[in-house]
A and B are shown apart, each in its own frame.
Chain A
């Protein structure tokens, strides 16, 4: 079984076929449509469209919001991962992780929609604020609300790799640092952060791409006032019905995905080299 080449080829045939039809061919079709116009002649217009007006603006905004989202996720998640890594040594780590993963089992659209009830003008949060005689905030249907929804949805994707990386660091390293007179801050910046850099990279890549390409969160919390590249692509397919343009814009998205992939591959390779 393990060595027989003929059997291997036979056994892998169904998947090779599946993979070709449902992974490779569809991607080629995106390239086909993206690089042709409705007459079928070759063009780059669908891709260069990203440089103009609406498309450029929505891409920039999406990049900016997903950058903010990734940054906030990191700032929130790092201390959390530190605490989790410490606490889980005593308490059962399963329970703690469960608490943070459990919400992910609920439909994310519903959870995001529920934020609407919390964030809107007469929503629950403003209700609490005005009860406390604090000024109420305008939150819903702004880019801020979208970043908020992104952070809410993607935070676990940042927490988990960070937690993994941090809890893998040998405690002896911390002890050694302390013995050598390192303060808390020094330990954090010179030991913990550098040793968890792979966790950081994989967390960042896992948050950034879904945030960059989302259209559901911006529709729900942005009141259709905020147009991200995901919304533009979605509407070129579902409303304007222009496969060529939609595919061309998808190719642009893929460039970002490939950059992301290269970064995480480098980090993976380094991790493997380190053992």
Chain B
């Protein structure tokens, strides 16, 4: 008995030594802030990991990289501790919310020469909608929300959001697990703005989503990708950036922007007011704006890049002029999300919870 116990304590000691050894070289991952560090908070699967490694190698800055799934989750974490991250990549409406709540710092354009050089004018202009004067944000990726469907499972070409209410696809429909994207669909179908605060309209949209719920297989975020590739579902609501990747893995998949219209979004880099490594944050944004870096990210995550320099570098002509990656926006009815204010947020949330608990 005793012998056995001492063997265990030996094992425990080994584990302890091993752990300390590793922690010596690996670092315990704590985010203390200070010289030579940068705390980045970005969407999941939204960067080529090699880019982070190369950035660290070139600049000697140690990157503490964390990911979020939705703008709302990102906000909750930031609200906990506004100085927890240096640089973030939220979407349009969330950026205006952060600006309004004084959580971001104004950027010094003279320190962002590469970004202003390489990123297309139209995207800067588009950004004015949520960031007047382009004072706070630098575009990173953009895209639309649409429907991805499997042409072997869906007989007719999809043109309308109404396919998501079609009973013959019961159990094969994937919805986005995020308030704004889910509510946007019925609102647009009813011809209402996706930023409406009209309670009657919201109630109507909520009823439609509740009605739809039995047909929905799951509310997911990034899992749409895997499930569509694996033929687990026939139809999914997805961001345009995922379309190229999923088509590469499963050629039966088709992406469309429904005729009723949809959401167009921009995700941009911003620096928090509580940032402890402001210089490094500028270095990061500039680095991400380099054409070859943006291209590398584009190849990896396949989300549309606002970086004109990068687009020019794309070798495959079909992709460079792809209607999915770089659509002609004037052909579609598109709208950006606008920050609804705290009460608006709470209103949307209440409706969303009701849908989820049905």
Q: Do A and B interact?
A: yes
Nearest chain B residue, comparing its CB with the CB of A237: B76
Checking A53, A57, A241 against B76 with a beta-carbon cut-off of 8 angstroms, the contacting residue is A241
Nearest chain B residue, comparing its CB with the CB of A121: B232
Residues of B within 8 A of A224 (CB): 177, 218-220, 356
Contact in complex: B354, A54 (CB < 8 Å):
yes
Q: How far is the CA of A71 from the CA of B121 in the complex (A)?
A: 64
Is the C-beta of A217 less than 8 angstroms from some C-beta in chain B?
no
Contact in complex: B219, A239 (CB < 8 Å):
no
Interface string of B286-298 (1 = CB under 8 A from A): 0000000000000
Contact in complex: B72, A141 (CB < 8 Å):
no
Enumerate chain B interface residues (CB-CB to A < 8 A).
Answer: 70, 72-73, 75-77, 79, 171, 177, 213, 216-220, 230-232, 346, 349, 353-354, 356-357
Contact in complex: A238, B76 (CB < 8 Å):
yes
Q: Give the 6 A-B residue pairs with the shortest CB-CB distance, closest first.
A: A223-B218, A224-B219, A54-B357, A227-B357, A54-B353, A141-B218
Checking A53, A120, A121, A239 against B354 with a beta-carbon cut-off of 8 angstroms, the contacting residue is A53
Is the C-beta of A240 less than 8 angstroms from some C-beta in chain B?
yes
Is the C-beta of A178 less than 8 angstroms from some C-beta in chain B?
no
Residues of B within 8 A of A241 (CB): 75-76, 79
Residues of A within 8 A of B230 (CB): 122
Q: How far is the CA of A136 from the CA of B70 in the complex (A)?
A: 34
Is the C-beta of A270 less than 8 angstroms from some C-beta in chain B?
no
Contact in complex: B171, A138 (CB < 8 Å):
yes
Contact in complex: B219, A223 (CB < 8 Å):
yes
Contact in complex: A53, B357 (CB < 8 Å):
yes
Contact in complex: B219, A238 (CB < 8 Å):
no
Q: List 20 A-B contacts (CB under 8 A).
A: A53-B353, A54-B353, A54-B356, A122-B230, A122-B231, A138-B171, A140-B217, A140-B218, A141-B217, A141-B218, A223-B219, A224-B356, A225-B219, A227-B353, A232-B353, A238-B76, A239-B73, A239-B76, A239-B349, A240-B349
Number of A-B contacts (CB under 8 A): 55
Nearest chain A residue, comparing its CB with the CB of B171: A138
Smallest distance from the beta carbon of A91 to chain B beta carbons, Å? 20
Checking B218, B231, B356 against A227 with a beta-carbon cut-off of 8 angstroms, the contacting residue is B356
18 further A-B pairs in the complex, CB-CB below 8 A; given A54-B357, A238-B76, A240-B346 = A53-B354, A54-B353, A54-B354, A58-B357, A120-B232, A121-B171, A122-B231, A138-B171, A140-B217, A141-B218, A223-B220, A224-B220, A225-B216, A232-B353, A238-B73, A238-B77, A239-B76, A240-B76
Smallest distance from the beta carbon of B119 to chain A beta carbons, Å? 31
Q: How far is the CA of A58 from the CA of B171 in the complex (A)?
A: 22
Q: How far is the CA of A243 from the CA of B76 in the complex (A)?
A: 11
Residues of B within 8 A of A122 (CB): 230-232
Residues of B within 8 A of A225 (CB): 213, 216, 218-219, 356
Contact in complex: A223, B217 (CB < 8 Å):
yes
Contact in complex: A239, B213 (CB < 8 Å):
no
Q: How far is the CA of A241 from the CA of B81 in the complex (A)?
A: 12
Nearest chain A residue, comparing its CB with the CB of B214: A225
Smallest distance from the beta carbon of B144 to chain A beta carbons, Å? 23
Residues of B within 8 A of A58 (CB): 357
Residues of A within 8 A of B171 (CB): 121, 138
Residues of B within 8 A of A239 (CB): 70, 72-73, 76, 349
Q: Which A residues between 94 and 153 are near B, CB-CB below 8 angstroms?
A: 120-122, 138, 140-141
Q: Which A residues between 234 and 252 are near B, CB-CB below 8 angstroms?
A: 237-241
Nearest chain B residue, comparing its CB with the CB of A117: B230
Residues of B within 8 A of A140 (CB): 217-218
Smallest distance from the beta carbon of B230 to chain A beta carbons, Å? 6
Nearest chain A residue, comparing its CB with the CB of B221: A224
Residues of B within 8 A of A232 (CB): 353, 357
Q: How far is the CA of A232 from the CA of B352 in the complex (A)?
A: 12
Query: Given that A224-B218, A239-B76 are known contacts, is A57 also in contact with B232, CB under 8 Å in the complex?
Result: no
**Most central of B72, B218, B231, B354 by chain A CB within 10 Å:** B218
Nearest chain B residue, comparing its CB with the CB of A138: B171
Residues of A within 8 A of B346 (CB): 240
